[in-house]
Amino acid sequence: MVIAGHGEPAERLCNKDPFTMKSAEYLAHLFPNSKFLLMIRDGRATVHSIISRKVTISGFDHNDPRDCLVRWNRIIGVMYEQCKMIGKKLCLMVYYEQLVLHPEEQMRRILNFLDISWHDSVLHHENHIGKGISLSKVERSTDQVIKPVNLDALNKWVGTFPDDIVQDMATIAPMLAELGYDPNANPPKYGEPDPIVLRN
């Protein structure tokens, strides 16, 4: 069961489970009309979030950030290859940082990929929670979805990793560079936010 029972019947169903991307090729075969979004995020921020929020993921030891980075590297590598394998018509790579910094541009890109008409309400998702939009009570990021887009999460990880890990980052997590992140930048330069983001 991939998506059964996740909500009311609808024209389009959405399954927010990052690990399904590890099987994108198989799922694309099972669901020929499906499309996939691979949300790419700086692995250092991802691991910091997993550890600080105590997100339970099989094999991740919250007391071993080095091992968590190694595991992130392995998992995102598989997802990245799966996305490339099924191709750009079925899988769109979206950078979390760019979505936060440039929400309208990125949401237009996403909706266009999904063949969904543009509506300004997507820029203010927090106003629609509980009004026809229900969220999982067990998904750990639900508490963040109810908030407006904000810049806080981008650099929270800076200064949280031990020096030896920071020095070895390029070796520990080579997927950072593969995905376009500078493993030696602390803090990194993700870009300048749009005015709408600064007003939130």
User: Which CATH number fits the domain that encloses residue 186?
Assistant: 3.40.50.300
Domain count, the chain: 1
Peptide bond into 187 cis (omega under 30): yes
Give domain status of residue 10, yes or no: no
Greatest mean pLDDT range, 47-61, 97-111, 126-140, 141-155:
97-111
Give domain status of residue 85, yes or no: yes
pTM for the full model? 0.89
Chain segment 167-181, per-residue pLDDT in tens: 999 999 999 999 999
Give domain status of residue 189, yes or no: yes
Amino acid at 1: M
Q: What is the SS3 assignment for the chain?
A: CCCCCCCCCCCCCCCCCHHHHHHHHHHHHHCCCCCEEEEECCHHHHHHHHHHCCCCCCCCCCCCHHHHHHHHHHHHHHHHHHHHHHCCCCEEEEEHHHHHHCHHHHHHHHHHHCCCCCCHHHHHHHHCECCCECCCCCCCCHHHHCCCCCCCCCCCCCCCCCHHHHHHHHHHCCHHHHCCCCCCCCCCCCCCCCHHHHHC
Rounded average pLDDT over 191-196: 92
Give domain status of residue 50, yes or no: yes
Give domain status of residue 14, yes or no: no
In this prediction, residue 13 carries a pLDDT of 83
Give domain status of residue 179, yes or no: yes
**Domain encompassing residue 69:** 19-197
Give domain status of residue 99, yes or no: yes
What percentage of the chain carries pLDDT values higher than 90? 69
Q: Is the pLDDT of residue 166 over 60?
A: yes
Q: Is the pLDDT of residue 133 over 90?
A: no
Closest CA to 38 of 74, 90, 101: 90
